[in-house]
């Protein structure tokens, strides 16, 4: 199976700003791929290059086996896009916009549209200017999910949705995966990415800093452990992979590199374990680890 999206060494500059600085991204066919990064990291710029709206300065981008800049018509028939900031025409109703976008893409399923309108609780009779941000996003989401395409490109699609609608959205993405479709999901919402995505790419300042499945990425991080021991531990500090140990008598709190977990646990059981809590790293910690070194640059310590 070919990759749905393969991008390598992508560079895009706007004046003096280097928005993309050698970005790599591979999305396999049939997977839900999380595209993570702080504001201004280059997520939307990458997506706009993939949609043929921007032309890359260097690097290669392949989309569904074609060139995103040259093969616009053939590629766009096979994909649907939800922008982060959905702006509607003030005098067209939501229903009209959904139908229009579907027809311009090459047809959509009216039955599926009706079902989605109900699930997202969207009133299609309102004029574009009357919708709130969340409802404008629902219009674009219904238009995208109702279309029969191979690839969905979603750019922060849920920033205006309430938790109930967020759940509807997640179920829709699950269904798309079951139907064998590929989804590129750019997001800030880590719980959403954790719940939905098979693989994740984390980008920062226009470069990819991490990519892989969630368990692969977790492997690179630390697990936090809290234990109540029978006797005070001994030599724990000197074990490789142990960080921030906090030993108070028989109570131990520490962080451990996930690949050194086995040795540390053996050491703890020697001292006799009364109780043990182990917390796997969250995506959030993973995410923060990549960005926290940005913050101190300008901050007083």
Partner 1 sequence: MSVLAGTGQLLKLGLRRSRIMLAVWVYALAAYAASTGYGFTKLYDSQESLHDFVSGINGNGATVALYGRILVPGSVGGVTAWRLGAIGGVLVAVMSILLVIRHTRGDEEAGRLELVGAGVVGRRAPLTAGLLVGVVANLALALVTMIVLIACGLPAVGSLAVGLAWAIPGLCFTAVAGVTAQLAETAQAARGIALAVVGVAYLLRAAGDAARVSWLPWLSPIGWSQQVRAYGAERWWVVGLGVVVAVALTGAAYALVERRDLGAGLLPVRPGPAEAAPSLRSPLALAWRLQRGALLAWLSGFAVYGAAIGGVLKGIGDLVKGSSSTRDLLSRMGGQRSLEDSYVGTVMGVLGLIAAVYAVQVVLRLRTEETAQRLEPLLATRVRRVRWSIGHLLFAAAGPVVLLGAAGVAAGVAHGLRVHDLGTQVPRLLGAALVQAPAAWVTAAVALLLFGVVPRLAPAAWGVLGAFLLLGQLGPVLKLSQAVMDLSPFTHVPKLPGADLTVTPIAALTAVAVAVAAVGLAGFRRRDIG
Give the footprint of partner 1 on this chain (CB under 8 A): 48, 51-55, 72-73, 76-77, 79-81, 83, 85-93, 95-101, 103-106, 123-127, 129-130, 140, 153
Least distance from partner 1 to the Cβ atom of residue 102, Å:
9
Cβ closer to partner 1: 72 or 239?
72
Rounded CA-CA distance 35/280 in Å is 21
Structure tokens at 285: 């910690």
Rounded CA-CA distance 284/154 in Å is 21
CB 282 within 8 A of CB 194: yes
Name the phi and psi angles at 217, rounded to 5: -70, -40
Cβ closer to partner 1: 44 or 208?
44
Cβ closer to partner 1: 33 or 136?
136
Cβ closer to partner 1: 93 or 135?
93
Least distance from partner 1 to the Cβ atom of residue 68, Å:
11
State CA 195 to chain mean position distance.
10
Least distance from partner 1 to the Cβ atom of residue 180, Å:
21
Sign, CA torsion 135/139/145/150: negative
Sign, CA torsion 137/140/144/146: positive
CB 256 within 8 A of CB 281: no
Least distance from partner 1 to the Cβ atom of residue 166, Å:
22
Cβ closer to partner 1: 57 or 257?
57
Cβ closer to partner 1: 74 or 269?
74
Least distance from partner 1 to the Cβ atom of residue 118, Å:
12
Place of tokens 């703890």: 268
Name the phi and psi angles at 212, rounded to 5: 155, -175
Q: Which residues in 235-265 are b (16+ Cβ under 10 Å) and which e?
A: ebeebebbeeeeeeeeebebbbbbeeeeebb
Structure tokens at 69: 């800049």
Name the phi and psi angles at 2, rounded to 5: -80, 165
Least distance from partner 1 to the Cβ atom of residue 86, Å:
8
Least distance from partner 1 to the Cβ atom of residue 91, Å:
8
The side-by-side arrangement of strands in the sheet containing 207-213 is: 79-82, 151-155, 182-187, 32-36, 199-204, 207-213
Cβ closer to partner 1: 21 or 255?
21
């Amino acid at each position: 199976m070919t990759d749905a999206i393969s991008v390598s060494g992508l560079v895009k500059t706007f004046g003096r700003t280097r928005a993309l600085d050698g970005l790599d991204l591979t999305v396999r066919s049939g997977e839900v791929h999380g595209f993570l990064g702080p504001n201004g990291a280059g997520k939307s710029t990458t997506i706009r290059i993939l949609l043929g709206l921007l032309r890359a300065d260097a690097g290669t981008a392949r989309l569904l086996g074609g060139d995103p800049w040259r093969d616009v018509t053939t590629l766009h028939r096979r994909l649907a896009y939800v922008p982060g900031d959905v702006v509607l025409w003030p005098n067209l109703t939501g229903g009209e916009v959904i139908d229009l976008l579907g027809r311009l893409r090459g047809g959509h399923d009216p039955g599926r549209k009706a079902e989605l309108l109900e699930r997202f609780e969207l009133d299609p009779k309102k004029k574009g200017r009357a919708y709130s941000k969340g409802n404008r996003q629902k219009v674009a989401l219904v238009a995208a999910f109702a279309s029969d395409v191979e690839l969905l490109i979603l750019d922060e699609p849920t920033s205006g949705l309430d938790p109930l609608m967020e759940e509807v959205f997640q179920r829709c993405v699950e269904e798309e995966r079951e139907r064998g479709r590929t989804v590129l999901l750019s997001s800030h919402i880590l719980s959403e990415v954790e719940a939905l995505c098979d693989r994740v790419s984390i980008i920062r300042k226009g470069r990819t800093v991490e990519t892989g499945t969630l368990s692969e990425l977790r492997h690179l991080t630390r697990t936090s452990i809290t234990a109540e021991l029978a006797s005070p531990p001994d030599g724990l500090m000197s074990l490789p992979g142990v960080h921030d140990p906090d030993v108070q008598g028989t109570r131990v709190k520490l962080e451990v590199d996930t690949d050194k977990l086995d040795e540390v646990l053996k050491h703890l059981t020697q001292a006799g374990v009364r109780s043990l809590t182990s917390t796997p790293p969250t995506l959030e910690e993973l995410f923060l680890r990549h960005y926290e070194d940005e913050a101190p640059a300008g901050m007083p310590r």
